[in-house]
Structure 1
Amino acid sequence: MRVLVTGSSGFVGRHVIDQLVARGVNVVASSRSPMGRHDVDHVAADLTQPGAATALIEKVQPTHLLHLAWNAVPGQFWNAADNLDWCAASLALLRSFHAVGGKRAVVAGSCAEYDWTGAGQLDEALSPINPATLYGVAKDALRRMVLRDAEQHGHSVAWGRIFWLYGPGEAPGRLVSDVAVALRDGRTAAVSAGTQRRDFLHVSDVAGAFVAALHSEYRGIFNVSSGTPVSIRDVVGCLSEAMERPEGVHYGARPTQPGEPPLLYGTVDRLQREIGFRPIFGLRDGLAETARWWRQSCDAL
């Protein structure tokens, strides 16, 4: 088993690498930037460049592929033009992987593929697909092609739709990281009223779900989610308590975005029953661990 992990320096990728290494798996990491660690082979690659995906596969010759790489810059990725480049690069990557005899691929999708205007429960088999952003459209287009090709040619491919995630080392520009940094630095965290409910999962559990899927025989779509919706206000409240600054949050300081769905969460039957994965972190424990990391990062400065 020789596993190629793309997007290895990203938020999820770093945790995936840690878990695969802990299992003793032969891992090759790939990303645009170096990882800063010496226990894993790393191949630098910009997959959006012509020929880069094929060259990477031919060099590594992986038996298994965990494809995480994509534009995930907060505030930019939803409608970035390079979503089209990532779709094309990902398709080339999967085709090259199958051409060299790759045995098993797991690809990161998104809950943004779903139609968000319904009742709020998002089920892999029942919920309609109608992405509202270019990011969601590109992911859905790739998913349709990859899974249809897999069905026709007998390839073993699974597609994990990631919901909302949080955890240590998260990039600025996201809810949990922005609130944690503001509270850590003694500033007021300005948030919306927080009545909307979402499905949050610790990044280590997100990584664990993909690692479990890679080792399973499940083929098709699965949600990478907790299955439990929680209000944004509760998430921020738990985090501010863990940061020991509950008075530092100003609810309602930011408007709720027009048309934002009141409820979105994923079903987890496939993740739990077909893949056999259950999260390690509950929300309160996960936010407490995240708060400790942010406080320690301040101490290290």
Structure 2
Amino acid sequence: MQRIIVTGATSMIGAALIKECIKKGIEVYAVIRASSGKKMRLPESEKLHIVDCSLEELEALPQKITEKCDTFYHIAWGNTGENRNSSTELQSRNIAYTLAAVKTAYALGCRRFIGAGSQAEYGPMDVDKISPDSPVNPTTPYGAAKLASGQLARMLCKELGMECIWPRIFSVYGIYEKETTMVASGLRKMLAGEKTSFTPALQRWDYLFSADAGRAYYLIGEKGKDGAVYCVGSGKAALLKDYIEIMAELTGAEETGIGARPYPEGAVMNLCADISSLTADTGFVPEYTFREGIRETITWLKTGNTGETK
């Protein structure tokens, strides 16, 4: 890769990807909303160009980017967060946004399109590891929209003569994570000395640190195979209570709050990514343990969200 475009540039994975690409000397066009207050998340570099453009206006990008690019990362997604499944209609709009991104990538001369799928495309499963070839059966509007977007993007890319790769993201935590997630909200409360309340936390879970996720996305752009679906995770799972206990230890929290509330209806009890094809094709292996990633995240939180990762 020499010159890339990234939508959703200020998201957790977008920012981590861009940081990795800048380190590698790759020129980046970072696409963000004009109203976004998150530009500070992006590194200062002569290799970085910020482009104001909303999801609804993606097809206008060729008028804003005059140079030919080689890879288009479409990470932006509308209607995310804890209420992302409250509206099927709002989630369905992301399918059109994804196809608009494919057409825009083609217009900008890109040879490769890389999306941002989700483990939600599989639906609840009780297996040791979920692989790219595991059956897909989404049970939420978010998962269904991700699945449809990936399938249609692949078809449109084939029509246009572009390569298409669809990574499916599992549980990523760390720098710039949404504050409503278990790790982000738990860490903030523990650092503030507030009580936390978790389920019995016997779920078996796979967590990947944000910097590792960014590096995985970089490697997919460099070495991923056309048409591939990759599971993006650590490839290892532990009980959720083990993760919470590490969080409590590193923040100095006296109580963990484990078992303070029941499992929610339909709780996923087993979630681990099979990253064997990702490793075989790209060489990706996580560099951070959960303990190391939490230390980095705590440093970032304590330094006014400006701390650097290694």
Decide whether aligned partners of structure 1 residues 100 and 294 sit closer, same or farther in structure 2, where only a CA change above 3 A counts.
closer
Q: Which amino acid aligns with 2:275?
A: V
SS in 1 for 2:97: helix
CA distance, structure 1, for counterparts of residue 101 and residue 19 of structure 2: 23
Which 4+ runs in 1 deviate beyond 6 A?
none
Deviations 1:14-33 (A, max 9, x none): 11111111111111101112
On the 8 A contact 1:5/1:28 being kept in 2, the answer is: yes
CA distance, structure 1, for counterparts of residue 224 and residue 119 of structure 2: 22
CA distance, structure 2, for counterparts of residue 89 and residue 298 of structure 1: 30
SS in 2 for 1:157: strand
CA distance, structure 1, for counterparts of residue 288 and residue 305 of structure 2: 23
CA distance, structure 2, for counterparts of residue 269 and residue 151 of structure 1: 26
RMSD of Structure 2 on Structure 1 (CA): 2.0
Q: Which amino acid aligns with 2:124?
A: W
Q: 1:225 aligns with which of 212, 233, 238?
A: 233
Query: 1:221, CA displacement in angstroms?
Result: 0.4
SS in 2 for 1:189: coil
Decide whether aligned partners of structure 1 residues 266 and 298 sit closer, same or farther in structure 2, where only a CA change above 3 A counts.
closer
CA distance, structure 2, for counterparts of residue 226 and residue 299 of structure 1: 25
CA distance, structure 2, for counterparts of residue 77 and residue 71 of structure 1: 9
Q: 2:115 aligns with which of 95, 99, 107?
A: 107
Deviations 1:152-174 (A, max 9, x none): 55421111100001113322111
Decide whether aligned partners of structure 1 residues 241 and 298 sit closer, same or farther in structure 2, where only a CA change above 3 A counts.
farther
Q: Which amino acid aligns with 1:119?
A: V
Kindly indicate whether residue 34 of structure 2 is the aligned counterpart of residue 26 of structure 1. Answer: no
In the other structure, the counterpart of 1:55 is 60
Q: 1:98 aligns with which of 103, 106, 125?
A: 106
Decide whether aligned partners of structure 1 residues 172 and 195 sit closer, same or farther in structure 2, where only a CA change above 3 A counts.
same
CA distance, structure 1, for counterparts of residue 124 and residue 159 of structure 2: 30
On the 8 A contact 1:243/1:295 being kept in 2, the answer is: no
On the 8 A contact 1:28/1:42 being kept in 2, the answer is: yes
Q: Which amino acid aligns with 1:287?
A: I
Q: 1:262 aligns with which of 266, 269, 291?
A: 269
SS in 1 for 2:116: strand
Q: 2:284 aligns with which of 237, 259, 277?
A: 277
Deviations 1:262-299 (A, max 9, x none): 21111011110012111110112112222232233399
In the other structure, the counterpart of 2:17 is 16
Query: 1:222, CA displacement in angstroms?
Result: 0.4
SS in 1 for 2:304: helix
On the 8 A contact 1:6/1:13 being kept in 2, the answer is: yes
Decide whether aligned partners of structure 1 residues 73 and 152 sit closer, same or farther in structure 2, where only a CA change above 3 A counts.
closer
Decide whether aligned partners of structure 1 residues 229 and 217 sit closer, same or farther in structure 2, where only a CA change above 3 A counts.
closer
TM-score, normalised to structure 1's length?
Answer: 0.91
Q: 2:204 aligns with which of 197, 203, 208?
A: 197
In the other structure, the counterpart of 2:137 is 130
TM-score, normalised to structure 2's length?
Answer: 0.89
CA distance, structure 2, for counterparts of residue 100 and residue 66 of structure 1: 13
Q: Which amino acid aligns with 1:183?
A: M
Deviations 1:149-203 (A, max 9, x none): 3345542111110000111332211111111111111111111110111111001
Q: Which amino acid aligns with 2:64?
A: K
In the other structure, the counterpart of 1:140 is 147
Greater displacement, 139-148 / 34-43: 34-43
Percent pairwise identity: 26
Q: Which amino acid aligns with 2:21?
A: L
Kindly indicate whether residue 74 of structure 2 is the aligned counterpart of residue 67 of structure 1. Answer: yes
On the 8 A contact 1:111/1:161 being kept in 2, the answer is: yes
CA distance, structure 1, for counterparts of residue 230 and residue 306 of structure 2: 39
Q: Which amino acid aligns with 2:24?
A: R
Query: 1:208, CA displacement in angstroms?
Result: 0.7
Q: 1:236 aligns with which of 237, 240, 244?
A: 244
Query: 1:58, CA displacement in angstroms?
Result: 4.3
Kindly indicate whether residue 166 of structure 2 is the aligned counterpart of residue 165 of structure 1. Answer: no
Q: Which amino acid aligns with 1:273?
A: A
In the other structure, the counterpart of 2:213 is 206
Aligned length: 295
